[in-house]
Amino acid sequence: MPDAAHNAETMTVPLIHSFSSAKLPQAAETLRGEIRDFLAERLDGVSPRTRAKTWSGFDPDFSRSLGARGWLGLTLPREYGGGGADAFSRFVLMEELLAAGAPVAAHWIGDRQSAPLLMRYGTEEQRRFYLPRICAGEIVFCIGMSEPNSGSDLASIRTRATQDGDSWRLNGSKIWTTFGHKSDYMIALVRTSGSPDDRQAGLSQFIIDLTLPGISVRPIVDLCGDAHFSEVFFEDVRLPADALVGEEGQGWAQVNAELAFERSGPERIYSSMVLLDLWASHLANSPENPCHQERLGKLLARLAIAREMSIALAAKLANGESPVNEAALLKDLGTELEQAIPVEIADAVGSDPAPVDPELLGTLAYLMQISASFSLRGGTREILRGMIARGLGLR
Amino acid sequence: MDDELLGPFARLLTDLSPPATVRGAEKDGSAPELWAAIGDSGFLDALVPEDSGGVGLLPQNIASLVIACGEHLVPVPVAETIVARALLARHGADVPADAPILLWPLSEDGKLSSPVAPVFSDGCLALVQSGNGMTLVEAAQGERDGFGLPAALISADAPPLAAFESDIDLLTWAAAITSAHMAGAMNRVLAMSIAHASERNQFGRPLSKFQAIQHHLAVMAERVAASNAAAHFVFASERLALNPWRAAAAKCMVNQAAPDCCGLAHAVHGAIGISEEHDLQLHTRRIKRWQLSFGSEAYWARRVAASWREQGGGTSIDRIRRQIRGGSADG
Ligand SMILES: Cc1cc2nc3c(=O)[nH]c(=O)nc-3n(C[C@H](O)[C@H](O)[C@H](O)COP(=O)(O)OP(=O)(O)OC[C@H]3O[C@@H](n4cnc5c(N)ncnc54)[C@H](O)[C@@H]3O)c2cc1C
């Protein structure tokens, strides 16, 4: 018998067993009803074409109303304005927001990663200053990681903060900053010592007030004509000492913790839901076509299982774990499904030369174009597969 | 409960269902030592209530056990017999002492609901379902099929050894068991591929150091993780009647995942993987046969999609939530 097979006898692959059944507790399901009532009222009359944007729908007023109901910072401690709830409740909230196509951009980043990052690494003053306002939906955060010459290779960034007496002087630029042009604060990863050759060493995180002198922001228009990201330039920006987040030189470890918050949410499977639902309801109101039913069923089956896996991930988060590799695995699987939805629907819609409902066509066109970004933002497919390979013990 | 059970059962399979036994059983359906040991272990009455002399487990407790059967390509119908014995016991039918029992759901035209028949196992019976009618009959060994396995046969006029009525759907069970078997076999295919990539050197380094190979294995891991999640999802029931929508979604999803998993495994193994001598083909050949067993992805997709033609409204997520509720541990 060949050796490899023999060795495989005793081998187990723990990563793949991380997703077996978890169950949403009743408290989380109770929250669902309240969220749905709220969304039904708030989104009444908003077209699918607009709702399909969900992640890039920017509506501070909407975000403030969520805050007023206690739905921002849901898992943060109450003493900082949070909801003190668990990861399951957050899963349900995210699920309902994304399925409905709610405009979540104005609070998405602050709620998902900036607030948890500050909770973990911030000083008590920073927590008291920022967290209650994030939870109220009053301040908007953006992520300053990527630079023109540093994308996947994040450790090669060149934006630099140099110590200048009590404060810091910041020079450089960030790019692809989601809603940088509409944000109040950026949490940025920058170099504070050494050179790009030092890689992960010498990096630090700062919280940057985007109204400071020396900062300019240029929105970037995407292929659909929307400006949801931007380039942010820093020219001799003076940052106060308390802009430093966590420890100087510990930026790499911190940013990885931040990326774990970014990647481990359930949102990575639901970006095409508005289109899927719109198409499915068209099918349901038309004579039955077995071909289309099969396409729909295959997508729903994948969705149902991806959702189970997402709930299993929420269980790990609720348990205080940091399931980084599992999150990478689910994100890659989830974005593949999000991207398959417009592909399948385009084939179905185009299989019949008859005219299509303009709202469906517009929503489909939007997702056919924007879906390429789903496997770029938050770490590319190739980078995630490298992480999964590490989780399998190959690197 | 699941894990406490699994340890001893998995050890039994490691000892008594090695590839040599699987190869032997592929020829004539016999694995007497293995079947006797499984019978002695008491696992066959896992789903029979305690007051009827069984172990009194629920479907949700045996998911890992069925997955393990797939992992070891157990050449006897363990899970199928567990289900059949639970049904026989529930209806007060005589439970044959030690026969393996196949599940044989008939479609409306009276034919088996699967283009490939269950694999024959020495001395096996078949629990045949037509509508609500169940009959237990003897099965015979048929020809070796296109996959090289001995398919079982039943004859239309076989005398029933037991007969009763039940609304528990055998096709749902067969699809669920097949999904879990596929997930298990895929676990082993992934483990074998990782081991092979780590040991085989080309260009002066192990295959596992090439990024292209790492990405193949990462994609396999996604398919395998999802298939295992699907297997647990379909078994997550506190009742002997599994939720049919869960079974439809699970088989539909696992069937979509399997070709990627097998294709990439063979890519990683190179030529050795398609040799008869290597164990990889034992698993991938069986997975492909299971793809055809008890409904393909398209078959189950139509069932899954029917949820969009039912009353109640709502989004896809609402419909999924509604469908998975019935019969499940979620109550
Ligand atoms: C919609 C959207 C929103 C974004 N928002 C933000 C934000 O708010 N803040 C922020 O900081 N960034 C943001 N980004 C940037 C995002 O993080 C980067 O796009 C991503 O990290 C990839 O970097 P890149 O685009 O420079 O591509 P590159 O790194 O140049 O990659 C190009 C291709 O090469 C591949 N590649 C690179 N390195 C390797 C390797 N080692 N092995 C194999 N393949 C490799 C990549 O996978 C990719 O396929 C956003 C991007 C998008 C699309």
Tens of pLDDT, residue by residue over B247-282, are 999 999 999 999 999 999 999 999 999 999 999 999
Q: Which residues does chain A have within 8 Å of residue B283's beta carbon, measured at their own beta carbons? A: none
For residue A45, the model assigns a pLDDT of 96
| Contact (CB<8Å) B256/A386 | no
pLDDT given at position B327 = 45
Cβ neighbors of A393 (< 8 A, separation 6 or more) are B194
A17 touches chain B (CB under 8 A): yes
Percent of chain A whose predicted confidence (pLDDT) is above 70 = 97
Kindly report the protein residue whose alpha carbon is nearest to atom 7 of ligand 1.
A177
Count CB neighbours of A348 within 10 A.
19
Kindly state the average pLDDT of the residues B201-207.
Answer: 98
pLDDT of B73: 97
Q: How many C-beta neighbours within 10 Å does residue A306 have?
A: 24
Residue B316: closest CA among chain A residues belongs to which residue? A277
- From CA A143, how far away is CA A141, in angstroms rounded? 7
CA A379 to ligand 1 center in whole angstroms:
6
A225: left (phi over 0), alpha (psi -120 to 50) or beta: left
What sign results for the dihedral spanned by CA atoms B274, B278, B284, B290? positive
Measuring from each residue's beta carbon to the nearest atom of ligand 1, which residues come in under 6 Å?
Answer: A 142-146, 151-152, 176-178, 229, 373, 376-377, 379-380, 382-383
Q: Per-residue confidence at B310, pLDDT binned at 50, 70, 90?
A: confident
Of A4, A300, A395, the CB nearest to B304: A300
Three-state SS for A213?
A: coil
Contacts of B222 in chain A (CB under 8 A): 329, 332-333, 388
CA dist A169 and A185 (Å) reads: 17
Among A7, A12, A309, select the one facing B226 at the smallest CB separation: A309
How many angstroms separate the Cα of A20 from the Cα of each of A294, A301, A388, B47, B283? 26, 16, 18, 21, 22
Q: What single string gives the DSSP state of each residue in A80-123?
A: GT-----HHHHHHHHHHHHHHT---HHHHHIIIIIHHHHHHHS-
pLDDT confidence band for A6 (50 / 70 / 90): very low
Coarse DSSP helix, strand, coil percentages of chain B, rounded to the nearest 5 percent: 60, 10, 30
**Distance (Å) from CA A43 to ligand 1 centroid:** 32
**Is beta strand B101-105 parallel, antiparallel or unpaired with respect to B125-130?**
parallel
User: Is it the case that residue A270 has pLDDT exceeding 70?
Assistant: yes
Domain residue limits, chain B: 2-166, 171-326
Q: Is B291 on the interface with A (CB under 8 A)?
A: no
The fraction of chain B above a pLDDT of 70, given in percent, is 97
Torsion, Cα B265 B266 B270 B274, to 10 degrees, reads 130
Q: What is the mean pLDDT of residues A112-130?
A: 97
B195 chain-A contacts, CB cut-off 8 A = 4-5, 7-8, 11
Domains and CATH numbers, chain A: 26-139 (1.10.540.10), 143-249 (2.40.110.10), 264-391 (1.20.140.10)
Contact criterion met (CB < 8 Å) for B228 and A307: no
User: What pLDDT is attached to residue B2?
Assistant: 60
- Determine the residue of chain B that is closest to A330 in CA distance: B222
User: What is the ipTM for the molecules in this complex?
Assistant: 0.96
pLDDT above 90 for A53: yes
Q: What is the mean pLDDT of residues B174-187?
A: 98
Residue B184, CA distances (Å) to A202, A298, B67 in order: 46, 21, 4
Q: Which residues is A160 bridged to in the sheet?
A: A171, A191
Query: Could you give the residue numbers annotated as active site of A?
Result: 262
pLDDT averaged over chain B? 94
Residue-level pLDDT at B330: 40
Instruction: Name the residue among A136, A101, A118 with its Cα closest to residue A273.
Output: A101
Report pLDDT digits (tens) over A313-329: 999 988 988 888 999 99
Among the partner-chain residues B194, B215, B252, the one whose CB lies closest to the CB of A298 is: B252
CA distance B215 to chain A (A): 6
Q: What is the mean pLDDT of residues B11-30?
A: 93
CB nearest to B224's CB, from A16, A281, A284: A16
pLDDT level of residue B3 (50, 70, 90 thresholds):
low
For the domain bounded by B171-326, which CATH number is listed? 1.20.140.10
- What is the CATH topology of the domain spanning B2-166? Butyryl-Coa Dehydrogenase, subunit A; domain 1 (1.10.540)
pLDDT of residue A2: 39
Task: Assess A273–B contact: CB distance below 8 Å, yes or no.
Answer: yes
Tell me which H or E stretch contains B137: strand B133-138
* pLDDT band at B331; cut points 50, 70, 90: very low
Query: With bands split at pLDDT 50, 70 and 90, how would you rate the model's confidence at A11?
Result: low
The pLDDT assigned to A14 comes to: 86
pLDDT of res. B326 = 65
* pLDDT mean across residues, chain A: 94
pLDDT band at A7 (very low <50, low <70, confident <90, very high): very low
Per CB-CB distance under 8 Å, the chain A contacts of B72 are none
The alpha-carbon gap from A112 to the nearest alpha carbon of chain B, in Å, equals 22
What is the share, in percent, of chain A residues with pLDDT greater than 90? 87
Hey, of A35, A394, A395, which one would you mutate to test binding to chain B, going by the most B CBs within 10 A of its CB? A394
d(CA A377, ligand 1 centre) in Å:
7
Q: Which pLDDT does position B313 carry in this prediction?
A: 87
Q: Is B222 on the interface with A (CB under 8 A)?
A: yes
- Closest ligand 1 atom to residue A174 Cα is 11
Q: Which residue of chain A has the CA closest to B224? A: A16
pLDDT level of residue A5 (50, 70, 90 thresholds): very low
* Span A176-194, average pLDDT: 98
**Is some CB atom of chain A closer than 8 A to the CB atom of B33?**
no
Written as six digits, the tokens of B167 are 């609304």
Q: Could you tell me how far CA A128 lies from the centroid of its own chain?
A: 24
